[in-house]
Amino acid sequence: MILQPIIDIAEICAQLGVKEVVVSPGSRSALLTLAFVRHPAFRPKVISDERAAAFMALGMAQVHKVPTVLICTSGTAVYNFAPAVAEAYYQQVPLLVLTADRPPEWIGQWDGQTIQQQQIFGQHVKSSMQLPASYQHPDEVWHVQRIVSDSFHQAISYPQGPVHINVPIREPFYPQAGEVFAYSKNLRVRKEIGGQKQLNEAQWAELTHVMQDSPRKMLLIGQQDEWELDSYINELSQKGWLVVSDVIGNCTNKEAILHSDSFLPHTTNTENLRPDLLITMGKSIISKNLKLFLRKHKPTHHWHVAAEGAIADPFQTLTQVLRTDERLFLPELVAKSSQGDAAFAQQWKKLEKMAINQNAAFFEKQSSGEWAAIYTAMQTFESGNLHLANSMAVRYANFVGNRKKSVRVFANRGTSGIDGSNSTALGSVWASKVPTLLITGDMAFFYDRNAFWHNCPMDKLCVLVLNNHAGGIFGLIDGPSQQPELEEFFETNQALNAESLAQEFKLGYVRCQQMTEVQEAIVSFMQSGKGQIIEVVTDKKQNKAIFQEFKKQMQQALAEINR
């Protein structure tokens, strides 16, 4: 077959260890699809909506840390991958995006499903490659094989991320009746053996000197779901270090500070909480209050640990980048660190303990409302993956916190959009095969309803929908909440409920009002594993009142301990 190099893309990916493939149907991409679907190494999923398909691929790659192959036809289908590709780029998740295209001479000639696809994802991919449009010369065949191998290794190299390969395909591209469909033998597939970056003794000597002169030491863990941090946190805490994180940091150790969002806005004399040395690892944090605190009370030294890649400076405090692997850095830090100021760490821990106790006392009295539903669900969900949609769901969950080692927390905080939350969680289910709870608001849920439009199984997925019939977060933000156009142009009130959607896609459905009902529904899901939607219908004005009461009581509790 003249298009044999296209078929061999699947074989190259198989030899490199790829397993997961998400395909959106189309004609121009037919040969790409057949190459992966007919190969025994892959577990293909067929998803008609390209935007949902891309987020599902993202959810799979979040779990495996190996690229998911994503395939679509030419034209605007490619653009529908863009939100998930951008999320993967900023969340550092590996994707191998294969987009079929017309041959270059037909671009801009009013040929069907034809747009400018080269470099279509701009700066939101690690690289964007273009395959040749013909394979007559052996060098062109070699070029295809090299590009596919290079793209895979770029996707998995630190920091991981999406890579785009645009594939011009000439007609005819369907196998003919009786034509042999086979993968080439002895392909030239490049593999890599990599080492780990480690600081040398001279570099450590310089860092140790700074640590000795910085008694108030803070380690801040951003979004991550890979490291097992318990032993390091215990040892650092014994040395007087302060370890801070939030719900997406998957930092469950009892010594860690997880509730700074609750107490920092109401704490007086915050200068006393300023670290001399701040070390950051991982990606973003949720807490705006923590960001504002560190921007105001800048540490003398701020080191960020990252082996490779671009470096963000969200607190405007960065003084040094440590180009080393986190897993090598932490044990060395524990071994070489000097004793920290235990009194400094104790101030934070006192506030953390107060916030935990205040949370428990506050929610024991709440029998309704979206925040109470999240608190109840997180308390009840014992084991599996917890996905948090953006907007209020992830913020509420951050106030609640998670210290269960058996619960792994995910959230699309690379771009923090509400699109794709359902799809990402479902992709995670397929990849992990463990019970998965998605907590989402009504706007994010209905925005991504096509996540359920396919023929794939949806067992082990439970979606908790907090339906206040609006984008309730805008009523809690000072700017939009003060505008007369709030309800129509910001909150965008909607009258939908999830029951008809559940019936349409053959998912279980439970409507809850009381927190005991939410608890029973979560327990039932954990026991049965059957896909279901739990809908909690709430009043946005009541939710706002509850949120304001929480802040008031937190402020009063802080005033008590400061007396």
CA distance 288 to 291: 5
Other beta carbons within 10 Å of 276:
18
- pLDDT at res. 475: 60
CA distance 493 to 57: 31
Average pLDDT over all residues of the chain: 92
- Sheet with strand 217-221: strands edge to edge: 242-244, 217-221, 277-281, 301-305, 320-322
- pLDDT at res. 124: 97
pLDDT category at 268 given cuts 50, 70, 90 is confident
Compare 541 and 471 and report the one with higher pLDDT.
Answer: 541
In angstroms, the Cα distances linking 516 to 364, 392, 407, 449 are 12, 22, 21, 27
- pLDDT at res. 557: 84
- pLDDT at res. 26: 94
- pLDDT at res. 274: 96
- pLDDT at res. 95: 98
- pLDDT at res. 488: 63
In the chain, what percentage of residues exceed pLDDT 90?
A: 76
pLDDT for residue 543 is more than 90: no
Amino acid in the structure at residue 337 = S
- pLDDT at res. 52: 98
Compare 495 and 445 and report the one with higher pLDDT.
Answer: 445
What homologous superfamily does CATH list for 201-352?
A: TPP-binding domain (3.40.50.1220)
- pLDDT at res. 478: 67
User: Residues 411-449: pLDDT tens digits?
Assistant: 999 999 999 999 999 999 999 999 999 999 999 999 999
Lowest mean pLDDT among 155-169, 271-285, 351-365: 351-365
- pLDDT at res. 206: 95
Lowest mean pLDDT among 28-42, 167-181, 308-322, 503-517: 167-181
Q: Which long-range contacts (CB under 8 A, 24 or more apart) does 37-45 make?
A: 38/10, 38/181, 39/10, 39/11, 39/14, 39/183, 41/10, 41/14, 42/10, 42/13, 42/14, 42/18, 42/69, 43/19, 43/430, 45/20, 45/21, 45/430, 45/454, 45/456
pTM value is: 0.93
In angstroms, the Cα distances linking 316 to 4, 194, 295, 311, 312 are 52, 33, 6, 12, 9
CA distance 28 to 152: 23
pLDDT category at 258 given cuts 50, 70, 90 is very high
User: Residues 289-299: pLDDT tens digits?
Assistant: 999 999 999 99
What is the chain's alpha carbon radius of gyration, rounded to the nearest angstrom?
25
CA distance 398 to 390: 11
pLDDT category at 355 given cuts 50, 70, 90 is very high
Lowest mean pLDDT among 87-96, 194-203, 327-336, 469-478: 469-478
pLDDT for residue 110 is more than 70: yes
Over residues 214-236, the mean pLDDT reads 91
pLDDT category at 154 given cuts 50, 70, 90 is very high
- Sheet with strand 532-537: strands edge to edge: 407-411, 384-388, 436-441, 461-467, 532-537, 508-512
- The domain ranges of the chain are 4-168, 201-352, 366-561
- pLDDT at res. 542: 86
- pLDDT at res. 7: 95
Compare 473 and 401 and report the one with higher pLDDT.
Answer: 401
- pLDDT at res. 555: 87
Compare 556 and 246 and report the one with higher pLDDT.
Answer: 246
Residue whose token pair is 């000639």: 109
Residue whose token pair is 């907007």: 391
Residue 451 contacts residue 52 (beta carbons within 8 Å): yes
- pLDDT at res. 364: 83
- pLDDT at res. 12: 97
The residues, any chain, with a CB within 8 Å of residue 243's CB and separated by 6 or more, are: 218, 219, 221, 233, 236, 237, 251, 253, 255, 256, 257
Length of the chain: 563
- The CATH number given to 366-561 is 3.40.50.970
User: Residues 50-79: pLDDT tens digits?
Assistant: 999 999 999 999 999 999 999 999 999 999
- pLDDT at res. 509: 98
CATH class of 4-168: alpha beta
Within this chain, domains 4-168 and 201-352 share the same CATH topology: yes
> What is the residue-wise DSSP string for 132-162?
-S---SHHHHHHHHHHHHHHHHHHHSSSP-E
- pLDDT at res. 501: 96
Burial category of 489 from C-beta neighbours within 10 Å (exposed 0-12, middle 13-18, buried 19 and up): exposed
- pLDDT at res. 365: 84
